[in-house]
Homo-oligomer: A and B are copies of this chain.
Amino acid sequence: MTYEIPLREIQFVLHELLQVPAMLEACGQPELDAETIDQVLAAAGQFASEVIAPLNAPGDEHGCSMPSAGVVQTPPGFKKAYDEFTKNGWPGLSCSPEFGGQGFPSVVANAVYEVFGGANMAWASYPGMSHATYVNVAANGSEDQKALYLPKIASGEWAGTMCLTEPNAGTDLGLMRTRAVAQADGSYSITGSKIFISGGEQDLTENIMHLVLARTPDAPPGVKGISLFIVPKFLPDASGAAGARNAVVCGSIEHKLGIHGNSTCTINFDGATGWLLGAPNKGLAGMFVQMNHMRVLVGTIAIGLMEAAYQKALAYAKERLQGRASGVRSSGDVADRIIGHADVRRMLLTQKANIEGARALALWTSQLSDVQRLHPDPATRNETAELLGLLTPLVKALSSDLAVECTLLAMQVFGGHGYIRENGVEQHLRDVRIIGLYEGTNGVQAMDLLGRKVLADQGRQMGVFLDMAGAFAETCGPREPMREFAQPLAKLVTDIRQLTGELVAASAQDPHAAGAAAAPYLRLVGHLALGWSWARMAEVALKHSGSTDPIYASKIATARFYFHACCPRRRRCAARSGPARPR
């Protein structure tokens, strides 16, 4: 079966939960309406189902190859799909019109990338990474650099990469050794080896703009001596077109668990010409604009893969006849459809509750990045930036952990057939597993959340977040139909508030306290964030209790399942089986 965009689900989040047009209007951009967004979603869904989803399994099977030294071939069909992608203007979706883009907000672009990722993560990661370099150059580049590079990225003619990791420097970028020596003409000569470079070499674009972290000879040691450089594969000529080949060569590609269609390269810089991007020795902060963008993006793509696996599992459960499930007998058949079995429903509903909750959270976070960038009020921009900083590691780590758990469950619905390659669900597990490991491992995300975001200001910013969730629970709690969601939400807020205080105190005593608690703390905050998302979705749905659109009843039932069966408050097994049909 092919992947299909969960159109109504995404519409529910964008239009009804987040009210994106109203947000844009508040940000002074009233021209984008729901209808236009729907057109984008429909086109994205069509491209996903018809063009890139059919390349997903063959791309996995074929993988990338190196037919000759330094040359990387993507799987058959990838280039043709990429050409169609650029022809239709997708690379510029959320780029500025100033540089040839269409100016859609990130919240729409990320919704689209969930869809592209769900259809074909290996393929979608090429343009996804390129757009992240656009974000980087747009934030850190000089006017000349922006004018030179951004139109090429926005058109999709050129791709981009982020070159951080070295064999001995992963999480600890302070250990990196790549050198950048200033040249008389203002450029730098870059020498060193980078590993794990996604899309570091490929046959999709005429040029690749590598964004490279390196040290100048006089730089201070550690992370305070890292600068950021633009190092194109082909040097732009006087007209800005790809000119002479630069001394940048792909040395090898990795053999990996998954995303076989996305090249993971060792890139060797051998006195390559590069230009400083942003201020010297401020490269890590500069790169973090891109990194934070990537963290939300890959967290969103993880949701796409969960969704893809869920679609397969749901279809299989509706079709596979096996055993007798009391109460839902399919008359005439030799057995009942396995979706009738309560344990299968439990597995499907767990996926559904996590997917939809994570989607609401990721798109809300994406929307915050728009508000933070666009809102006219500086105080709102600052507050939003703080909240975005808190949620970014959460979206990345929570979504990717849930995605592994949920693709495992999707496989489980298939039984032994889930282990067989041709059923496709095992590929989703292999592909999505990378998301917990790259762009900072999920342990790094957890330390970012607890160490840098929570403990660094003694829990103040986390307190703001908890106040927001607590206020929501308090406001809607007295209304009867919302009570069942507001009460456990309020309990989570209280628990996390107390725990946060304990951790602030403990970390003052024990240097290991934060590290030991970080991962379970992130997960607990994740439950709150999902619970809050579910309570908000239930509130929206309750306003439509008379509607014939089945999504509203589905939202309420799934919110109930989330609080009943997924939340850590549960101390008992679920003795209720949930609604008979997850969708």
| A interface residue numbers (CB < 8 A to B) | 165, 168-172, 175, 196, 254-258, 321-323, 325-327, 334-335, 341-347, 404, 408, 411-412, 415-422, 426, 429-430, 433-434, 436-438, 441-443, 446-447, 495, 499, 502-503, 506, 510-521, 524, 565, 568, 571-578
Q: In the complex, are the beta carbons of A516 and B170 less than 8 A apart?
A: no
The docked-state distance in angstroms from the alpha carbon of A513 to that of B520 is: 30
B171 touches A512 (CB 8 A): no
Q: Is A512 a contact partner of B419 (Cβ separation < 8 A)? A: no
Residue of B nearest to A335 (CB): B172
A341 CB → nearest B CB, Å: 6
The residue on B at minimum CB distance from A578 is B516
CA distance A438 to B415 in the complex (A): 7
User: Which of B416, B420, B513, B576 meets A170, CB within 8 Å?
Assistant: B416
Which of the residues B419, B499, B503 comes within 8 Å of A256, measured between beta carbons? B419
CA distance A327 to B434 in the complex (A): 31
Q: Is the CB of B430 within 8 A of A415?
A: no
Kindly name the residue among A415, A502, A568 whose own CB sees the greatest number of chain B CB atoms within 10 A. Answer: A415
A370 CB to closest chain B CB, in angstroms? 30
A436: chain B residues within 8 A (beta carbon): 412
- Given A168-B321, A175-B322, A516-B578, 5 new contacts (CB under 8 A): A170-B322, A412-B442, A419-B437, A499-B573, A510-B575
The 5 closest A-B pairs by CB, nearest first: A342-B515, A326-B511, A512-B577, A516-B577, A517-B573
Rounded to whole angstroms, the CA-CA distance of A512 and B322 in the bound complex is 16
| A415/B434 in contact, CB under 8 A | no
- Copies of this chain per assembly: 2
Contact residues in B for A577 (Cβ distance below 8 Å): 510, 512-513, 515-516
Do B447 and A343 touch (CB < 8 A)?
yes
Q: Once bound together, how far apart are the Cα atoms of A521 and B325, in whole Å?
A: 19
Q: Are A421 and B256 in contact (CB under 8 A)?
A: yes
18 contacts between A and B (CB under 8 A): A171-B323, A175-B321, A175-B322, A196-B416, A256-B419, A257-B421, A257-B429, A343-B518, A344-B443, A345-B516, A346-B515, A411-B433, A411-B437, A415-B441, A416-B434, A510-B576, A516-B577, A521-B573
Q: Which residues of B contact A524 (CB under 8 A)?
A: 573
B434/A419 in contact, CB under 8 A: yes
In the bound complex, how far is the Cα of B434 from the Cα of A421, in angstroms?
A: 13
Taking CB atoms, residues of chain B closer than 8 Å to A502 are: 572, 575
Residue of B nearest to A433 (CB): B419
Which residue of chain B is the closest to A196 with respect to CB atoms? B416
The distance from the CB of A412 to the nearest CB of chain B, in whole angstroms, is 7
Q: Is the CB of B438 within 8 A of A416?
A: yes
Q: Which residues of B contact A415 (CB under 8 A)?
A: 170-171, 437, 441
A433 to B429, CA, bound (A): 11
Q: Which residues of B contact A327 (CB under 8 A)?
A: 511-512
Q: Are the C-beta atoms of B576 and A516 separated by less than 8 Å?
A: yes
Contact of A175 among B171, B335, B503, B514 (CB under 8 A): B335
Residue of B nearest to A346 (CB): B516
CB atoms of B408 and A437 under 8 A apart:
no
Q: How far is the CB of A441 from chain B (nearest CB, A)?
A: 5
Instruction: Give the complex CA separation of A426 and B575 in angstroms.
Output: 36
Contacts of A441 in B (CB 8 A): 412, 415-416
Distance (Å) between the CB of A262 and the closest chain B CB?
A: 12
Measured in the bound complex, the distance between the Cα atoms of B572 and A513 in whole Å is: 13
Contact status B408-A404, CB under 8 Å? yes
In the bound assembly, the distance between CA atoms of A412 and B442 in angstroms comes to 8
Q: Are B512 and A573 in contact (CB under 8 A)?
A: no
* A579–chain B nearest beta-carbon distance, Å: 11
| A172: contacting residue among B171, B323, B437, B520, CB under 8 A | B323
Q: Give, as a whole number of angstroms, the nearest-CB distance from A164 to chain B.
A: 11
Interfacial chain B residues near A519, Cβ < 8 Å = 343, 346-347
Tell me the bound Cα distance from A381 to B341 in angstroms. Answer: 35
In the complex, the answer to whether A575 meets B513 with C-beta atoms within 8 Å is yes
Q: CA–CA, A175 to B343, complex, Å?
A: 20
CA gap between A325 and B568 in the complex, in Å: 30
Q: Assuming A437-B419, A515-B342, is B334 touching A175 (CB within 8 A)?
A: yes
Give the CA-CA distance A346 to B516 in the complex, in Å. 6
Say how far A171's CB is from chain B's closest CB, in angstroms. Answer: 5
The CA of A500 and the CA of B577, in the complex, are separated in Å by 17
CB <8 Å contact, A437 and B416? yes
User: Min CB distance, A227 to chain B, in Å?
Assistant: 20
